[in-house]
Chain A
Amino acid sequence: MKKELLVIVSYWLLSVSAWANINTEATPSQREDLSKMLLHLTDSLEEDYDLNLLPQVRVLREQSKQLGEKHLQARSLLLEGLIRQHFGDYKHSLVLHNDALAIAKNLDSPVLEVQIYLALAQLEMDLERFRYAQQLLSRAYTMITTRIDAEQADKLMGEYVLWQGSLYLLKGSYRQALATLSKKSLSEFKGLSSKLALARAWAYLSIGAYPQARLLMNSHYIKKAELSQNLHLRVRYQLMNATAYLQAGEFTSAIDTAKLALNETFGTRFLTEQSKLQKVLAGAYAQLGDFEQAHLYLKRFALSQQALNLQKRNNKLLQLEAQYSLAAQKQQLSVLEKDNALQAQQLIQHQQQIDNAHLAQQRGVLGLLLIALALGFGYWRWQNKRYLITLKQQVAERTAELAERNKRLQALSFTDSLTGLNNRHYFFSVIDAQIKPQSTSQSDKQEMIFCLLDIDHFKKVNDTYGHAAGDLVLQTVADILKQCTREGDLVIRWGGEEFLIVMPNMTHNEAIEAVERVRRQVECFPFVVNEQAIQVTCSIGFAPYPLTNGANKSLTWEQVIELADNGLYMAKKEHRNAWVGLHRLNHPLNCSIKHLSKDYRSLINSGQVTASVSYQT
């Protein structure tokens, strides 16, 4: 009662001071106060896990949090976790321990970390999760041996040994527990000697070695003062005593001790010890032959066991639920992940499809563009080609036209428009080519005859009947000449009413025949002018080519034409409608050819020139 009052008062005082100190910096004295408070709480906790300590622990936590005292905050979290776990609130104590652990790791405080690991190991042992408990203890052991200095390590090692031994006991590996708990002399662990001695005694009892257990329990390692202070420790001590009596066959002592202890456990939470004591009692009574009592205590034992089992079952159920919810969460998570992955995949596929479509589009456009370009180019080329062809055609046409025109022009320039016969130009352009073969191949056999023809009294026709009648006469004479000559003969309108006929490959006699034929044709042709028949005649002179002027001196064709003209002149002068044909020059001519015209007759008569004439002189 007194203790409770003290707790309430101190709680009130602390609350007031906490309120007063809000938002203020931690002073050394405040820090000292908090440390003292922590020490007090830890000591109280050593005695028992009293629920009434919780408010104080929480005040300590809040204050240390406000003052930024992380270490104290972690310690207070650990204390609350320890209290809660002793009352079965495993879930919250786990959270609290883990919070404390996070702070301890940040502070790099291995001592605190080890303490938290040990607390967590106890929790796991309460839940019978021995594998996890072992992992935590191993972690604690590693830290104690590697990271903590010798002085602090000793106490922690004691705690470690205690919990490791307890774990082995819980797992039923009694020899291992005994080995662990006996590694060091109990005198080395001052504060923990009672607890360690009891644990070791329990290990002995578990293998039925009650004499050794008794020795330990009666030794000075178990502090009587501690037993009187700590109810839980006391009950356990009595339980072990009773068990030792039972194993030794001292049933009455076992019953007395167990009953005493059982009385102490009424109204406490030490259900495990209660059930064990009840079992001891049942066993002792049974062996004393008092089966009624044995039955009674067995029933009570069964009830306690049932309650314990219920507790265990709930814990297991919680674990299972936790595991299940974890598994369910994991499953959900994995489903979600799968879903996400699927969606991501779909998204990627979609994106890819879009990309592909884009690409296809681009390709299509590019393709179309190319096709259009190609078509355009083709069209352009085609057009070009067509245009070129057209141009070429036009050029060809023009060229042809031009050629035609040239031809026509040439023809025109070589033709006499009135008679349709070739003119003098034509004669000059072709005569050289006509002469050459003549001079080379057939010079000996046949000659070329140059023959000049002139229409007699043509001026009279013109004057009498008009120029149109003259033109008609000219045309008709030209036609007659065309008819009377051979294809290869040249018929030229030499000028005015004068025509030149060149007859290649012809002897003098043949020439005489041809000329005579022409003269006669003209003489006989019925010319009709203005519906009036008129008589037209012509005179002709001719000479052969080549012609030698005496000592092998050849005359030019121009000279030959001149000689023919001289013959014509002579025919006109002496007769008209007649012809004079030079055959050869018997002597070289001393005078010029022009001069011959006057003396043609005399030259013939003198025999210098041999010629034929159509008339008689």
Chain B
Amino acid sequence: MSRVVLVYFGLYRFECGVSMKRLIWLWLIFYTGSLYAHNQLVVDIMSSENFSQRYAEFLNGRSPLDVKSFYPTTKGSHIEIIEMVLLQQALFLGGETREVVFNPKPSVNIVEFSDMLSGESLILARSVWHEDIINYRGSLYVSDAVVEFGQYEAGLYVTKRNVALQNLPQEQLDQLTVVANPRWRVDWRALINTDINIVSFIGPWETMLNMVETEVVDAMLINFSVSQNLLLNFEEREYVPIQNIKMMLPDSRHFIVSKKHPQGEMIFAALNRGLKILRAQGVIDKALHQSGFINHLVKDWEYVNQQMLSSSQVVP
């Protein structure tokens, strides 16, 4: 049913058409039959990062390709859903027109991304930190950055009742204690390059938040909430970021595609092509801004780890 609509829609656009996108639609119509046997593209989701429900809520019956406005409609962090949408739009723009099917997969493996390395998985729904895959680039295609170096910002969230801490000046950060998971290497690196005291904790995110709640620690590094006033509401408890202070997570995020997978090369080509188009059209930027990932409320806030942004003119 949806396919019919899609085709019709495509024809309509073709008649009026000028853009590359319409040519792709045309290509889609002609090749529908030949690709029918492989008419689904399976994108793996690590089950620990399964946001399908919120993703469905966000789409609310729409096709991800139709999403033009990325303003958040669900609670919590929004980037995961935006990435799933952008991935599909990029693939489509890059020429991969098959329907995307998300496949949650347990991620218990000795070697990280082992399914991707072996070619069992083709592509992941979420972007990954660049530093997590630098040693696997022989086996993985790494897309252009979805989130570029320096774009990822997070706040130091404290309990809402802790008014004194909310206005902690940057000079007094050495008095602050933050809980962090050393396995989240980018967060960890960001934190150890400041004067902030860190309590190392490996465990569930919720427990960490509870540590803030019970004042075992003062704060926790969390993506800025998309709600008004940046307020984070979790299980009826409210948290707010320390005002005028933000942290840059010092890495870029990329989609990865398996080199071993037979379709890897093709999919990666489509993906990267599509991403370039989206970037050129300003869709990625728009998505990051509208979704609140790059939060306009903290635009003028100061970086705590500004020095990590440093780019160098390398002298031989």
Question: Which residues of chain A are within 8 angstroms of B309 by Cβ–Cβ distance?
Answer: 175
Quick one: which of B135, B137, B189, B312 contacts A179, CB cutoff 8 A?
B312
| A295 in contact with B138 (CB, 8 Å) | no
Bound Cα distance A395, B316 (Å) = 136
Question: Which residues of chain B are within 8 angstroms of A131 by Cβ–Cβ distance?
Answer: 195
The verdict on A171 contacting chain B, using a C-beta distance below 8 Å, is yes
| B315 in contact with A280 (CB, 8 Å) | no
| B138 in contact with A247 (CB, 8 Å) | yes
Bound Cα distance A212, B192 (Å) = 27
The contact string, 1 if C-beta is below 8 Å from chain B, for chain A 216-259, is 00010000000000000000000000010011111100000000
| A172 in contact with B311 (CB, 8 Å) | no
Distance of A371 from chain B, by nearest CB (Å): 66
Question: Which residues of chain A are within 8 angstroms of B189 by Cβ–Cβ distance?
Answer: 171-173
Question: With contacts A171-B189, A172-B192, A282-B111 known, is A250 near B138, CB below 8 A?
Answer: yes
The verdict on A287 contacting chain B, using a C-beta distance below 8 Å, is yes
The contact string, 1 if C-beta is below 8 Å from chain B, for chain A 266-295, is 000000000000001011001101010011
Distance of B206 from chain A, by nearest CB (Å): 26
Pick out which of these stretches binds chain B: A15-23, A183-191, A521-529, A559-567: A183-191
Question: With contacts A171-B193, A173-B307 known, is A247 near B137, CB below 8 A?
Answer: yes
| B315 in contact with A183 (CB, 8 Å) | yes
Question: With contacts A171-B192, A173-B193, A175-B312 known, is A247 near B134, CB below 8 A?
Answer: yes
Distance of B165 from chain A, by nearest CB (Å): 21
| B185 in contact with A243 (CB, 8 Å) | no
The verdict on A115 contacting chain B, using a C-beta distance below 8 Å, is no
Distance of A300 from chain B, by nearest CB (Å): 13
| A283 in contact with B135 (CB, 8 Å) | yes
Quick one: which of A171, A178, A182, A247 contacts B135, CB cutoff 8 A?
A247
Interchain pairs with CB closer than 8 A, number: 90
Question: Which residues of chain A are within 8 angstroms of B118 by Cβ–Cβ distance?
Answer: 289
Task: Output the nearest chain B residue to A285 by Cβ-Cβ distance.
Answer: B111
Bound Cα distance A499, B193 (Å) = 155
The verdict on A298 contacting chain B, using a C-beta distance below 8 Å, is yes
Chain A: residues with Cβ within 8 Å of the partner, total of 38
The verdict on A608 contacting chain B, using a C-beta distance below 8 Å, is no
Task: Output the nearest chain B residue to A205 by Cβ-Cβ distance.
Answer: B134
| B138 in contact with A251 (CB, 8 Å) | yes
Question: Which residues of chain B are within 8 angstroms of A208 by Cβ–Cβ distance?
Answer: 130-131, 134, 137
Distance of A479 from chain B, by nearest CB (Å): 133
Question: Which residues of chain A are within 8 angstroms of B103 by Cβ–Cβ distance?
Answer: none
Bound Cα distance A186, B188 (Å) = 31
Distance of B141 from chain A, by nearest CB (Å): 11
The verdict on A176 contacting chain B, using a C-beta distance below 8 Å, is yes
Bound Cα distance A185, B314 (Å) = 9
Task: Output the nearest chain A residue to B149 by Cβ-Cβ distance.
Answer: A175
Question: Which residues of chain B are within 8 angstroms of A280 by Cβ–Cβ distance?
Answer: 135
Quick one: which of B134, B137, B188, B311 contacts A175, CB cutoff 8 A?
B311
Quick one: which of B111, B137, B192, B312 contacts A182, CB cutoff 8 A?
B312
The contact string, 1 if C-beta is below 8 Å from chain B, for chain A 153-180, is 0000000000000000001111110110
> Would you list which residues of chain B between 102 and 139 have a CB under 8 Å from chain A?
110-111, 114, 117-118, 130-131, 134-139
| A178 in contact with B138 (CB, 8 Å) | no
| A294 in contact with B111 (CB, 8 Å) | yes
The verdict on A130 contacting chain B, using a C-beta distance below 8 Å, is yes
Bound Cα distance A250, B136 (Å) = 11
Which B residues fall within an 8 A CB radius of A? 110-111, 114, 117-118, 130-131, 134-139, 185, 188-189, 192-193, 195, 250, 305, 307-316
Question: Other CB < 8 Å A-B pairs besides A176-B193, A208-B130, 5 of them?
Answer: A172-B189, A175-B311, A208-B131, A208-B134, A247-B138
Listed A/B pairs (20) with beta-carbon separation below 8 Å: A171-B189, A172-B185, A173-B189, A173-B193, A173-B310, A176-B308, A179-B311, A179-B312, A182-B312, A184-B315, A207-B131, A208-B137, A246-B135, A249-B137, A249-B139, A250-B138, A283-B135, A286-B117, A287-B136, A287-B138
The 9 A-B residue pairs whose C-beta atoms are closest, nearest first, are A249-B138, A172-B189, A208-B134, A179-B312, A182-B314, A287-B139, A286-B111, A179-B310, A176-B310
